[in-house]
Structure 1
Amino acid sequence: MKGSLNDAELLEALAREEAELQFDAFTNDTALRLGLELADRATASGQAVTIDIRRGSQQLFHYACPGTSADNDDWVARKARVAERFLCSSYRLEVELRASGRTIAERYFLDPSLYAPYNGAFPIRVRGAGAIGTIAVSGLTGDGDHRLVASVLSDYLAAGR
């Protein structure tokens, strides 16, 4: 998504993406289908990622592709905490912090060993209910984790599932 956008433009695009990528309903089966699609898409591209999908504090899906490690489990948990706490993608908070020149510890007094404001976690929003959970991915470089999640969500929702 970054391309040639400056931080202000990227923040607008990320907020717009979050507003668009909402569900009419979200079930355990939805989490399973999304998780499997994320894993299939990563594997088909030769990428190794860890995927975590939660509704509230309940873990509905977790998969670690071959080539990942326990470090990726830590990263998805830390990124998901950001999306859950701030009700926005962890990428959006990453860009906001970069634009402000401050860290998550400096701006929000949060422990960076628990909160990772880096791309890869996305809030699960249900129309009429708001944010009900998170989808998090770890393992790709650049903004790849975010792009994987956003593209799978976009395709899934466009298919009317």
Structure 2
Amino acid sequence: MTESQRLTEFRRQEEELVFESFDHHAAWRLGSLIAGRAITEGFGVAIDIRRHNVVLFRCILPGATADQEEWIRRKSNSVLRFEHSTALLAEQFSDRNPLGGGWLDPADYTLAGGSFPLRVRGAGVIGAVTVSGLASDKDHQLVVGGIRNYLKTVAPGTST
């Protein structure tokens, strides 16, 4: 897939994966779906769902390391700052890096894939769902697959 095709795909995902509503119960169900898939696949990941600084769901699976805590913090900061997935941001900024140089501090932000905006119709981005522990693309796919599964099975009719 070319850079342009990847960017188009990431934008399409953000347009498609929109919630009608999202509360603490939705966070639990979404996080549990993602964790269930990770357990089935044997992925040692950490999963985090937050509304800005309030953690609504957290799961650390066997094989995840202490580093995942920092990756989650930095990935979710990037999503909440730009209101786009870290995969889209990484692709969009592939020719210029906004980290360092006085713009964004790399100690607080990263463009590694695996964090996705929680977008609610009529409200915009209200939080982020983040996975850390795999390669960036695999982290992203696990999050997107979980959201897609949630919208299809738990909250049918909520995506566009």
Same topology, TM > 0.5: yes
Instruction: Check the 8 A contact 2:87/2:136 in 1, yes or no.
Output: no
TM-score normalised over the length of structure 1: 0.92
TM superposition shift of 1:105: 2.1
Q: Is 1:75 matched with 2:71?
A: yes
Instruction: Indicate how the Cα distance of structure 1 residues 108 and 97 shifts in structure 2: closer, same or farther if over 3 A, else same.
Output: farther
What's the C-alpha RMSD, in Å, of the aligned pairs?
1.3
Long gaps (5+) in structure 1? none
Q: Is 1:63 matched with 2:76?
A: no
Percentage identity across paired residues of the two chains: 39
TM superposition shift of 1:152: 0.9
Instruction: Indicate how the Cα distance of structure 1 residues 105 and 60 shifts in structure 2: closer, same or farther if over 3 A, else same.
Output: same
- 1:124 is paired with a residue whose SS is strand
User: Which of the numbers 121, 127, 134 marks the counterpart of 2:115?
Assistant: 121
- 2:116 is paired with a residue whose SS is strand
- Measure, in 2, the Cα distance between the counterparts of 1:63 and 1:160: 20
- 1:83 is paired with a residue whose SS is helix
TM-score normalised over the length of structure 2: 0.92
- Measure, in 2, the Cα distance between the counterparts of 1:117 and 1:132: 19
Aligned residue for 2:137?
143
- Measure, in 1, the Cα distance between the counterparts of 2:154 and 2:32: 17
Long gaps (5+) in structure 2? 156-160
